[in-house]
Every structure is written in C-alpha cells, then in structure tokens.
Homo-oligomer: A and B are copies of this chain.
Amino acid sequence: MVKVGIIGVGTVGTSVANILKDNADVIRARAGREIVVKSGVVKNLTKDRGLDIIITDNVDDLLNDEEIDIVVELMGGVEEPFEVVKRALQSGKAVVTANKALLAYHRYELQELAKDIPFEFEASVAGGIPIINALRDGLSANHIESIMGIMNGTCNYMMTKMSQEGVAYDAILKESQELGYAEADPTFDVGGFDAAHKLLILASIAYGIDAKPEDILIEGIENVTQEDIAFAKEFGYAIKLLGIAKKDGNEVELRVHAALINQDAMIAKIDGVMNGISVVGDKVGETLYYGAGAGGDATASAVVANIIDIVRGQRSSAMLGFNRPMEGEALSLKALEDINSKYYLRINVNDKAGVLARVTKLFEDNSISIETVLQRPANATSANLLIATHIALEKDIQQMMRDLESLEFVNEKPVMIRIV
C-alpha cells in the first residue's frame, strides 16, 4: 500500500483525496498497488472537509512521517512551498505539485534536487489536460517549433462573453468575480501572470529555457474593448489571451498577451472557461489539447495521474523534466524588441482634418507598413483609428506608440494588440 500526504487540503486537495477513494478500483488496477491518503496539512483545523484522513496544522507531522511515500503540495505561494518541497525531496519522498508559481521561479533548482526522486507537476499547467505528458512523451520524437495556448480560463471566459454578448470589460469582470472565476484582485489572471507561469513551465520542457516571469513579455486583457472585438470580427479574427513560445533558430520567443487570431484556427474556437494548447512539432505538425484548465476535480485528475505514474515506477525525472540545453543547441531567450508580428492599434484622436494623414505618415517614418485602416467616431469630437499593420518589428512599434502618445491630437495612450 502506498501512502500519500497532502499539504494544503483545499478544493483540489479534497478532490485528490476523494478521487483516490471514489476511483480506487481503476486506480489500483492501473497503478498495480493500493494508494491511500494518510494525512493532510491545513491552516484551519476546525473546518470539516468530510475526509477520512489525519488532519494536522503542522507540516512536520507529515514530512517526518516515514510511512508517507508521496507528498502532494497544494499550498500555493512560492517561497514557503519551495522550502517544504525541498525538505520532502531531501527526506526521500516523491513530490507531486500543482503549484505553477513555485515552478515558474524554482523549477530548475527543484529538478536538480529531484535527480533520483520522482517530482511531477502535470496539474501545474492547464488543469486536467495532460499537456506535459504529451510534450514529454507523446511528442518526444519532435523538435518543438511552437507552443501556443489558451492557458487561463478566466480570461477566455471574459473574452468569449465580450465577443458573444457584446458585454463591456468591466461588466464581465464583475460577473466573473460573482461566479468565482475571477478573484477580488483579478490582476493575476487578467494581467497575464497566471498564463505566464504556465508558459514558462511548458517552455522549459520544450526548450530548456530557465527564464523567470520577470524576463518575458507579459500583458493582459485589461485594454480590450468592444471596438477591438468589432474590428476583429470584421476582419475574421477572434481575440484571446495567448501564451506563446516559438523557436526561431537558436532563440526562443516567450510572450503572453491578448492576440487577434484567425477565427478558423482551432485555438480560436475554444470558448468559455476551457483551456486549449496547440503544439507544433517539426514532424507531427500541429496537435492540440483541450479541456478544463481549472476546477478541483479536473486539477486533481492530473495530480492523481502523477501519483499513479510514480507508483508504477514509470518516471525518471532527471531525463524527463525540464530540458537542459543540449550540446550544440543552447537556446536563449529572444529579446523582446526583436519579436516580429503583425499589430493592431486603436488610436483615439481629435476628429479634425489632416489627422489621418499625420498618423499614417508616422507609420511610414517608423518603417511600419499598414494593411488596414478603419476610422470610427468615438463621440462628438473624437474618433478611433483602428489600424492593422503588416509584419513589423516590436521595437519599431514601441517607438511608434511613444511617438503617437506625444502627438497633440492623440487623446489617450494608444492600445496595441498583436496579431498572430
């Protein structure tokens, strides 16, 4: 019998315990052994979780328990779980975590510690979707050309509602908070940080890039308006918050931002709170993985799958975890200003003669070629210029944005959304 300890018995932790009990029949058959949760660590001892396990508020009770073979870390946070996971690994316990923030900052250090001990984290990206499994095993014959995904269900729910029902950003954010999809402080989701943590984990597996969130481009969906959505629809795009990792020679682009994406792409068809990740391999072409990116049972499904893997003795994490750059193919992070993209800009201007000419001249001066221009009245005295460009350099666009902002007839900071 294999004994598991859960640190952090909230929604996901409770689901982990319940799945191991509810589905004990198939799990025993697939793992070859019985797996039971022995104990859990919580902050609040008085709350009844309806579980038949030992509950303690002292993490040492669990870490010092020699009967416990596998520790499931579901604490949240970064430094506190880092210490706990380190101690668990050092005491020879296998660890399964769903903690993407922990991995966004400490994945290489933990992998180093876990050389001879299983350390798994399928649930840290896209909840129940076995995307890490696919990357490490199913696509192992491929050089990965790109990973592009809807990795945050909250943002996707909001973008879907804004698009399908014409609801304004603020209204849909409020609704998402009431539904429990968004936190009281929604920045972590709508600012793109949650998606960035997941992107870093996937990019490490595919490319061995040891970047931290601070090192990469992270933008959110806060500036997307109904005008942008109308423009997108008119020209055959959907707007989604995407995490993108793309290999270009010996460099890898990593970025999270709202993006206009061709509405015929599979990833544009993923609506509501669902997640979906497209992976392009040099041999397999595009594959896509879709499912629930959050929720207790879906996330716990991935945690328990990792526990089963460990019990099967299936993993060898030093080989299967985050890649180290291979000899002769050291990949580095591409500088933000070197990114190439098409861009969409929304520029609010005073509605008077000569403005469009001045703006388009500025594009020309910055070597940026315009593909589409739409001018729409914003109110009695101002208009929105909606402009899509051909492929341009990020540094030129950033310069353009600064130039635009300084013009006397531009009323507010222009909004830019990349087109992928």
Count the A residues whose beta carbon is within 8 Å of the partner chain — how many?
63
- Is A287 interfacial (CB 8 A cutoff)? yes
- Is A323 interfacial (CB 8 A cutoff)? yes
Given A29-B323, A130-B134, A134-B130, A139 contacting B301 (CB threshold 8 A): yes
- Is A417 interfacial (CB 8 A cutoff)? no
- Complex: chain B residue closest to A279, CB-CB: B291
Chain B residues near A313 (CB, 8 Å)?
A: 316
- Is A19 interfacial (CB 8 A cutoff)? yes
**B141–A300 touching, CB < 8 Å:** yes
- Complex: chain B residue closest to A206, CB-CB: B26
Q: What 0/1 pattern do residues 289 to 305 of A give for CB contact below 8 A with B?
A: 11110010110111111
Question: CA of A174 to CA of B27 in the docked complex: distance in angstroms?
Answer: 48
Interface contacts beyond A27-B141, A130-B287, A283-B298: sample of 14 additional A-B pairs, CB < 8 Å, sorted by A: A19-B283, A29-B323, A29-B326, A30-B140, A32-B319, A129-B138, A130-B137, A266-B290, A284-B297, A284-B298, A284-B301, A287-B289, A288-B289, A312-B319
Question: CA of A324 to CA of B251 in the docked complex: distance in angstroms?
Answer: 47
Question: CA of A165 to CA of B323 in the docked complex: distance in angstroms?
Answer: 46
Q: Which residues of chain A (14-32) have a CB below 8 Å from chain B?
A: 15, 19, 22-23, 25-27, 29-32
A272 to chain B, nearest CB (A): 10
- Is A308 interfacial (CB 8 A cutoff)? yes
- Is A49 interfacial (CB 8 A cutoff)? no
- Is A309 interfacial (CB 8 A cutoff)? yes
- Is A133 interfacial (CB 8 A cutoff)? yes
Q: Which residues of chain A (96-153) have a CB below 8 Å from chain B?
A: 122, 128-130, 133-134, 136-143
Question: CA of A301 to CA of B138 in the docked complex: distance in angstroms?
Answer: 8
- Is A180 interfacial (CB 8 A cutoff)? no
